[in-house]
Amino acid sequence: MKTISKLLCATAFCFVAGAAQAEGDSERSVKNQYDAAVSQADADYKANTAACQGREGNEKDVCIQQARDQRDRAKADALAARKTNLAQLDAQSDKNDSDYKLAKARCDALSGDQKDACISSAKVKYHQ
């Protein structure tokens, strides 16, 4: 019976490590999307300001300001999307924690190996 408990614990550990890595991968993905959007905004800004070079006076000033406005808006949208995605990841983590606590409370009604197996199962299921 101890062998089964050790196997369950080892499985749970591997699953938890995998979940932590997946969460880190999700955060990196969000950051990569943000970085790509900012890079695109900067590239668009350079192209738009280059297109303004043939103009003169106020027309050139307005053109450059319009390019800046488009860049700033794109960066603001990228930042908002990044914050939203990170907030969703945080919310999912909070939900998993809450579900784990509920499952653990249900396991408290059991005893011995059944309780240990129940808690191990909850840890695996809710990535604890």
Q: How far is CA 7 from the centre of its chain?
A: 31
The model's pLDDT over 100-118, given as tens digits with 9 standing for 90+, comes to 999 999 999 999 999 999 9
The model's pLDDT over 60-80, given as tens digits with 9 standing for 90+, comes to 999 999 999 999 999 999 999
Rounded to whole angstroms, the Cα distance separating 29 from 48 reads 28
Is the pTM higher than 0.75? The answer reads: no
H-type alpha helices, the chain: 2-52, 57-107, 112-125
Q: How confident is the model at residue 124 (pLDDT cuts 50, 70, 90)?
A: very high
